[in-house]
């Protein structure tokens, strides 16, 4: 993959497609509404997390075919989280990835069940990752923690609590919240390839730093898109945070400082990968792409 944004989009599309193919194959032709809703929820995403897994594994010479189930697993968890977050009792969003949210296309019960089944499917897929059993178990434990009350669910709970809190969140609080809500899964994805390869701890740590910085930069970019973005491109409602009086990186820092902070985080992310030399250029370019994206 070369450095140009078009090539990255092609790689994103390829990796995401491979991950979706794994999910499709696991669903084994089922045609009931919940299975259809699961497919629908997984379709049309950017596949960022799948790309992190596959490109991270390639750093260690692990072919996409071997890491694809782990890439599919993280996309399944991410998709489940969006389906549940969009529920009326949660963020109450009707539009996702340019289509009606699952609870609008089907109904709330189907959305709850499709999300639940996607989470279960993720752990089934992890068992298909081609690596030693010990590494598979590191993936399982890591994903369970990243998805759970100490990670993604905890962050989402803090986010919902903040909406009815008397005081808007501080920068520290938002950083912590986002480290759980979006950061934990991104970090898991960034390090999964190294885990599959049973790489030495220094290399896992480097990818961990990359993942932490990338996750935060990604969230800042998301907040910027909520202010500046075009719903036609983002495929979801924009301006929701400001309308809800919600503290975001943009409301707390201002637009230009938020942009500068995201760029600085991406630099740190890229620097962390310097020990990989030229091999890391794809992940470095991906980090730059994340803060320049329009959706």
Residues near its own copies, by CB under 8 A: 27, 30, 32-35, 38, 80, 84, 87, 89-90, 107-110, 112-113, 115-117, 119-124, 126-127, 133-134, 136-137, 140-141, 143-145, 147-150, 153-154, 156-158, 160-161
CB closer to its own copies, 169 vs 287? 169
What minimum distance in Å lies between the beta carbon of 218 and its own copies? 21
CA 209/CA 218 separation, integer angstroms: 14
What minimum distance in Å lies between the beta carbon of 151 and its own copies? 8
CB closer to its own copies, 188 vs 218? 188
Complete DSSP assignment for 189-243: HHHHHHHHTT--HHHHHHHHHHHHHHHHHHHHHHHHHHHH--HHHHSS--SHHHH
Other CB atoms within 10 Å distance of the CB of residue 236: 21
What minimum distance in Å lies between the beta carbon of 249 and its own copies? 23
CB closer to its own copies, 36 vs 271? 36
CB closer to its own copies, 8 vs 78? 78
Cα torsion angle, 22, 26, 32, 34, sign: negative
Find, among 199, 51, 207, 58, the residue nearest to 132 by Cα: 199
What minimum distance in Å lies between the beta carbon of 147 and its own copies? 4
């Amino acid at each position: 993959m070369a450095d140009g944004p078009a090539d990255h989009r092609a790689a994103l599309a390829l990796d995401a497609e491979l991950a979706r193919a794994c999910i499709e194959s696991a669903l084994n032709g089922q045609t009931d509404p919940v299975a259809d809703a699961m497919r629908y929820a997984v379709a049309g995403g950017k596949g960022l997390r799948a790309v992190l897994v596959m490109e991270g594994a390639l750093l260690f010479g692990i072919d996409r075919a071997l890491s694809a189930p782990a890439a599919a697993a993280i996309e399944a968890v991410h998709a489940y989280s969006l389906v549940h977050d969009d529920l009326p009792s949660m963020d109450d969003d009707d539009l996702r990835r340019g289509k009606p949210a699952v609870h609008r296309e089907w109904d709330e019960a189907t959305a709850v069940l499709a999300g639940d089944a996607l989470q279960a499917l993720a752990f089934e897929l992890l068992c298909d990752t081609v690596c030693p059993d010990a590494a598979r178990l590191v993936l399982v434990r890591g994903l369970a923690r990243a998805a759970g009350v100490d990670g993604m669910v905890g962050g989402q709970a803090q986010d919902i609590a903040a909406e009815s809190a008397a005081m808007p969140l501080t920068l520290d609080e938002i950083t912590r919240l986002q480290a759980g809500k979006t950061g934990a899964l991104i970090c898991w994805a960034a390090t999964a390839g190294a885990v599959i390869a049973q790489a030495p701890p220094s290399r896992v740590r480097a990818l961990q730093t990359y993942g932490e910085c990338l996750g935060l930069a990604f969230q800042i970019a998301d907040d910027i898109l909520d202010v500046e973005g075009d719903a036609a491109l983002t495929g979801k409602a924009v301006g929701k945070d400001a309308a809800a009086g919600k503290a975001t990186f943009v409301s707390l820092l201002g637009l230009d400082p938020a942009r500068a902070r995201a760029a600085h985080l991406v630099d740190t992310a890229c620097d962390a990968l310097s020990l990989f030399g030229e091999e890391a250029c794809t992940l470095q370019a991906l980090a730059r792409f994340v803060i320049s994206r329009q959706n």
